Amino acid sequence: MKATQRQAFNVAFEFDRELSKLISMPKHPEFAERSVKNFCSWADFVMKISESDRITSRWAAIPLNCLQILISHKVTENLDPETLEVLTVTMSKCLDHIYSPRIRPSLSANSFRKTPDEAEDYSQYDFSGNSSLRRVTVHERIKQTVDYVEKCRQAYLEENRKVGRIIELGEIPFEVHFLRSKKAPFEWQRLENKILGVGSFGTCYLVMNLRDNCLMAMKQVKVVRENNDNMRALVDEVDIFRQLDHPNLVQYFGIEVHKDEVLIFMEYCSGGTLAKVCKEGLDLDCVRRYTNFLLKAVDYLHKKQIVHRDIKPANIFLTQQDILKLGDFGCSFRIQGPATRWGEIITHVGTVSYQAPELQTNTLAGSEIPTSEAIKSVAGYGRAVDIWSTGCVVLEMITGKPPYHQLNHELQIIYQLGTGIPPKFTPEIENNEMTLGFLKKCLTVDSTLRPTAAELLQDTFANIDTDAYDCTN
């Protein structure tokens, strides 16, 4: 019963606090009378239950936090002297029954006097009732009392790690990377009900380039300017797009910046995604042709010191001419060393079924704080993760099923990767020496022994004349 009454008073005080922000001037007298009655009822409740239970400042946190309402001009200016005196006496009696480790047991009107031992803690307040010292008004004394109680409550919460403290992070503002507004270098129009898909950082629509009279894909990314992590990821994706020019990569055409969204215009691949095309498995010659295209794209990215980190059929597109193009750079990362293949990155991203083992064993967990000690203890990974993902894509093109499809839960896949178990091969793959050899190279557990994209392009499986094969028939 006491808990129910306490909760009811908490709701009433919070209601008064919100109501004080909304009421108009003619309603101030009525609001003042209501607030005083509410507080007096709560004070009676506190004094009654204090006979059997100790009332702490934490227990009374919400009402004490809302006492600022009683000392606002909306209340005090509309109270007659008698009612104000009743409020003052009631408040003093009530505070006498609230225990706080950093507040004296009594804060009555006759005990607001600092002792020499307390001078340091109470020096900023003048609670003196002695006529030889400066007298403060009732309004000031109530405000000072409430402020002090709130300060002690906040200090208690911080000491016991109940609340945190806000610090200045000095993050780079959004405007450093983008202009406040920016238009695409062409006129365009979005086609109604033409959603191409949803990517890692936005939704993709089909639009018409009115200047060149052609179709394009437009990626719409909602901007939350306070979220600096997503903002950096978006900046990285656009920067990566700008520096890429390869026939097997989705082409970037421009960007348009608005207050609450960023629009990225890209090449439209009418053939759809590889994920839709290979559901039933593909002919081996077609798989080899697509593999050649994919390795050329990966090799180009790696030479540009970019790791894609999310290569999978859903991020691979096909044009009307049946040319494979790798896209969606939302998880991509720019690295520094042109020769290093592993140990360069420590963050955990990507799609589990296509992730390399080192992404499970050599990275920081998503919830782990990247301290300097944690970073030093992590081996990290590099370009070789894209090679493993490429092998997974080739395997899916052949079988029509994603890697580890026989497992029922994502944690089972993570366990298999963590223990260094590659995806299973079908009997058809086991009996084809060329295909088996290529997949084993891609799916080498030790990333230091995994070949590069350039080396795999020289493998018999991928080293073909793409013009000699036609996957459309």
Beta-bridge partners for 188: 209
Count of Cβ atoms closer than 10 Å to residue 404 Cβ: 21
pLDDT at 309 over 80: yes
Beta-bridge partners for 222: 261
- Distance (Å, whole) CA 174 – CA 177: 6
pLDDT at position 55: 66
Residue 368 has φ and ψ, to the nearest 5°, of -80, 135
Tokens of 35: 């607030």
pTM score, whole prediction: 0.56
CA–CA distances in Å: residue 377 to residues 344, 358, 363, 370: 13, 14, 9, 11
Q: Which of 63-72, 319-328, 369-378 has the lowest mean pLDDT?
A: 369-378
Taking only the tens place, the pLDDT of each residue in 203-215 is 889 999 998 899 9
Cα 121 to chain center, whole Å? Answer: 41
pLDDT at position 374: 44
In eight-state DSSP terms, residue 103 is B
Taking only the tens place, the pLDDT of each residue in 206-248 is 999 998 899 999 888 877 666 556 666 666 667 667 778 899 9
pLDDT at 460 over 70: yes
Residue-range domains of the chain with CATH: 2-159 (no CATH), 174-267 (3.30.200.20), 274-468 (1.10.510.10)
Tokens of 447: 């990333």
Q: Cβ contacts of residue 246 below 8 Å, gap of 6+?
A: 296, 297, 300
Cα 304 to chain center, whole Å? Answer: 28
3-class SS of residue 253: strand
3-class SS of residue 8: helix
Q: Are 332 and 306 in contact (CB under 8 A)?
A: yes
pLDDT at 444 over 80: yes
Q: Please indicate whether residue 310 is annotated as part of the active site.
A: yes
- Active-site position among 16, 236, 310, 328: 310
Q: Is 375 left (phi over 0), alpha (psi -120 to 50) or beta?
A: alpha
Helix axis angle, 81-96 to 28-49, nearest 10°: 30
Taking only the tens place, the pLDDT of each residue in 61-96 is 677 666 666 666 667 777 777 777 777 777 777 777
Residues 180-203, mean pLDDT to the nearest whole number? 77
Residue 422 banded pLDDT, cuts 50, 70, 90: very high
- Distance (Å, whole) CA 387 – CA 385: 5
Taking only the tens place, the pLDDT of each residue in 13-52 is 777 777 777 777 777 777 777 788 887 887 888 777 776 6
Q: Are 222 and 199 in contact (CB under 8 A)?
A: no
| Cβ contacts of 136-145, under 8 Å, gap ≥ 24 | 138/84, 138/85, 138/88, 139/71, 139/76, 141/88, 141/109, 141/112, 142/67, 142/70, 142/71, 142/87, 142/88, 142/91, 143/68, 143/71, 145/91, 145/95, 145/107, 145/112
Q: Cβ contacts of residue 25 below 8 Å, gap of 6+?
A: none
